[in-house]
Amino acid sequence: MRKTSTRLADGRELIYYDLRDTPREAVDRRPLDATVTSSEVRHDVLLGDDIAVASHRQGRTYHPPADQCPLCPTHGDRLSEIPDSTYDVVVFENRFPSLAGDSGRCEVVCFTEDHDASFSSLTEEQARLVLDAWTDRTAELSQLSSVVQVFPFENRGREIGVTLGHPHGQIYAYPFVTPRTARMFQSLAARRGEDPEANLFDEIVARESTGERLVLEGEHWVAFVPYAAHWPYEVHLYPRRRVPDLTALDEAQRAEFPRLYLELLRRFDRVFGPDEPPTPYIAAWHQAPFSGLDAYEGVTRDDFALHLELFTIRRTSGKLKFLAGSESGMGVFINDVPPEAAARRLREVASA
């Protein structure tokens, strides 16, 4: 992998990740003013949550036509966020970030220059390059004083709320431990209190590596529908050897990941039948925070298990799972599809 860092016209950082030794010397020719953001993190004293307020995002790019896509390479006079005329993977600071400055950082990850592709259509070599980019950004962002936790993710599909059709994801670098991660550490600490030798993540992976909720497995990774899945079709992908974050994966784990993940995405695309449109989904990496864990007695960040959660908001053909009264009002999910049935369907679906 070759990494080349440069700056856009408004001062934002852009990084090329290339499979080959490709020189990158193109300059951003757009007449952009310096980026101005109004991101602010506010603490909800009643619920204990941290909320980002970012009013400048109201003006972000919204469903542009394909020939005006800001994530495609620059060609001639059609200027985009990527100054070069070609690229493999690109990461750049979001022009409309939810988090900025002392409140963290937001980045965009372009998986390919092909506007009509998807992550599932990438080759294993391309998918590995994306993994390497996620890993490098996790390592780099962890060095920022304002960053406590790094969250790479992909939103796919208009139903999810995606405003740009080009295959891409994002990375949020939070200045706090996120609520879901905090709840996981609370559960880890509680289990450790019952048994000083126990690790709840290890127990879950061991339990789900066999049985009716198993979806896909390799030598180094295992994918399963969790026992208490929140979403109709939800799969968790874990490395068998527990690591706290992407930077701790060994070469064997990195080498196997692209094949299993691409297979999983292709199955997701066919789960509702061959004539259905591509399945909307969220793919979310859970990584251990770099600090902020003093409240969880008996556990450290090394007790956390890196894993990816993949889920769709589509519950059946042509119907979405809406977060209505119970889910949005009380945080109590009601799942329309038994996890065992979802796993069975994902096992039977051919990806080709």
Report residue 299 as tokens.
Answer: 């556990």
Report residue 202 as tokens.
Answer: 């290890």
Cα within 13 Å of Cα(183), Cβ side: 6
Instruction: Determine the Cα–Cα distance for residues 296 and 298; give it in Å rounded to an integer.
Output: 6
Is there a catalytic annotation at residue 63?
A: no
**Is the CB of residue 14 less than 8 Å from the CB of residue 94?**
no
Percent helix, percent strand, percent coil in the chain, to nearest 5: 30, 25, 50
CA end-to-end span of the chain, whole Å?
29
Closest C-alpha among 145, 175, 188, 200 to residue 295: 188
Instruction: Determine the Cα–Cα distance for residues 221 and 207; give it in Å rounded to an integer.
Output: 14
One of 166, 168, 236, 286 is an active-site residue; which one? 168
Instruction: Determine the Cα–Cα distance for residues 236 and 244; give it in Å rounded to an integer.
Output: 15
List active site positions: 168
